[in-house]
Structure 1
């Protein structure tokens, strides 16, 4: 197993493979958006189900509240994610414009910034001077270097629309799962709630496990952590609904 992994890494680091990988355009991953939408969707709808069950609401009321929250909160989260990514992209563009302006107005100062950046990396003497000259020779390379090295900004192309769409779809699909038992007729209230609980727990666990596979983390550790976080939110909603029913006599 170790030898096959080593062989795969060697092929991945073949000069031609490296060249193709570096020349390929960088793309933003949709996985974080999907995870964000899925977790929040499942938490939102199961929190509604838990609160409704704790308050003694009927299955029909829980279903209506669940779907209303699913659509409204899913759309709200998608818009919020769109605005966040758009703001991030605009921030990168503003920083790029400032660096172009600085190169026009104070080129020697910008070269000194490059010099100090790479001096901190261990370059010195004639080698450092050649690095500075090479980078400052190409204006776009110069600006991109300043964006990443000075400002710590990523060069990956960001798509607000894609982020919003992925978030919204993941929110709807995963968030609808805990509502399925409430859409089926002829099930006792306790059985509906327990079925919804089991589905929500499974969703949280699977989301955490998927996250671990994408980011190379321990599978069960990530799954259980996501399960505990989602369960805490649902438990708080159930407690809130139960206390509201006890204090105010809310029951439908």
Structure 2
């Protein structure tokens, strides 16, 4: 359940990044020009570049984490091979720290070691399941899909809204979407929802406001 919640939170945050970054780009371009094709091209470029960047970044990050996990497991295997009694004592003490009496801790440590020494020590000492290491490809695809889904909202909204209302409609829809992602992330994290929603919405609105202002200034200057 904890792993599923972590994936859900990552997906929500990825969607949030897609919404904010793409909205900032399309609103900024809309501030510089009313050309629908230019706005759409900029939005598509932002979506593709952002999705690839998110996937690549997540792949590198999770691959590094998995390499670290494998390195720690190799070290644990060597210690179990070279000093099994010392490792057994270490595992016993870990269970004692958790509140188990010495005789029962010894029994638990010995039985778990006899059943699966590496699994028992990796879980208790490192918090790692040797049979369920993090998968960088899963993380990369999840981030790419979440970012793309989030980015589609501002892209489609500003593309298909009436020319005289496209910016306001986009800002409104993005604000609602950010409020939803803020509420959802707070729910997963069991944190105060109004505060999370306010942070998310404020950041997104600020990004759109700044990029629109820059687009308007640049568009006026070039014009």
Answer whether TM exceeds 0.5 for this pair: yes
Is the CA contact 1:28–1:158 (under 8 Å) kept in the aligned structure 2? no
RMSD between aligned alpha carbons?
2.8
Deviation of 1:28 after TM superposition, in Å, equals 7.8
Residue 64 (structure 2) pairs with residue 92 (structure 1): no
User: How many residues in Structure 1 have an aligned counterpart in Structure 2?
Assistant: 221
Q: Which residue of 1 aligns with 2:123?
A: 148
User: Which of 73, 92, 95 matches 1:118?
Assistant: 95
Deviation of 1:95 after TM superposition, in Å, equals 1.8
Is the CA contact 2:92–2:109 (under 8 Å) kept in the aligned structure 1? yes
Deviation of 1:98 after TM superposition, in Å, equals 1.8
Counterpart-to-counterpart distance in 2, 1:129 and 1:37: 45
Deviation of 1:144 after TM superposition, in Å, equals 2.6
Is the CA contact 2:34–2:163 (under 8 Å) kept in the aligned structure 1? no
Is the CA contact 2:158–2:166 (under 8 Å) kept in the aligned structure 1? yes
Is the deviation greater in 212-221 or in 80-89? 212-221
Shift in alpha-carbon separation, 1:200–1:159, aligned structure 2, 3 A: same
Counterpart-to-counterpart distance in 2, 1:240 and 1:187: 19
Q: Which residue of 2 aligns with 1:250?
A: 222
Q: Which residue of 1 aligns with 2:174?
A: 200
Shift in alpha-carbon separation, 1:154–1:56, aligned structure 2, 3 A: farther
Q: Secondary structure at the match of 1:30?
A: helix
**Structure with greater proportional helix content:** 2
Q: Which residue of 1 aligns with 2:135?
A: 159
Counterpart-to-counterpart distance in 2, 1:27 and 1:59: 40
User: Which of 26, 29, 37 matches 1:60?
Assistant: 37
Q: Deviation per CA, 1:161-205: give whole Å up to 9, x if none.
A: 2322222122112212112243237522xx211111111111111
User: Which of 139, 154, 157 matches 1:178?
Assistant: 154
Q: Which residue of 1 aligns with 2:198?
A: 224
Q: Secondary structure at the match of 1:201?
A: helix
Deviation of 1:27 after TM superposition, in Å, equals 6.2
Shift in alpha-carbon separation, 1:148–1:234, aligned structure 2, 3 A: farther
Is the CA contact 1:27–1:158 (under 8 Å) kept in the aligned structure 2? no
Deviation of 1:91 after TM superposition, in Å, equals 2.3
Q: Which residue of 1 aligns with 2:110?
A: 133
Q: Deviation per CA, 1:38-72: give whole Å up to 9, x if none.
A: 01111111110232234456443222111111111
Q: Deviation per CA, 1:187-235: give whole Å up to 9, x if none.
A: 22xx211111111111111112222344444444433332223223333
Instruction: Note the residue ranges of structure 2 that are not aligned, 5 or more in a row.
Output: none
Counterpart-to-counterpart distance in 2, 1:125 and 1:185: 70
Is the CA contact 2:161–2:169 (under 8 Å) kept in the aligned structure 1? no
TM-score, normalised relative to structure 1: 0.74
Instruction: Note the residue ranges of structure 1 that are not aligned, 5 or more in a row.
Output: 1-20
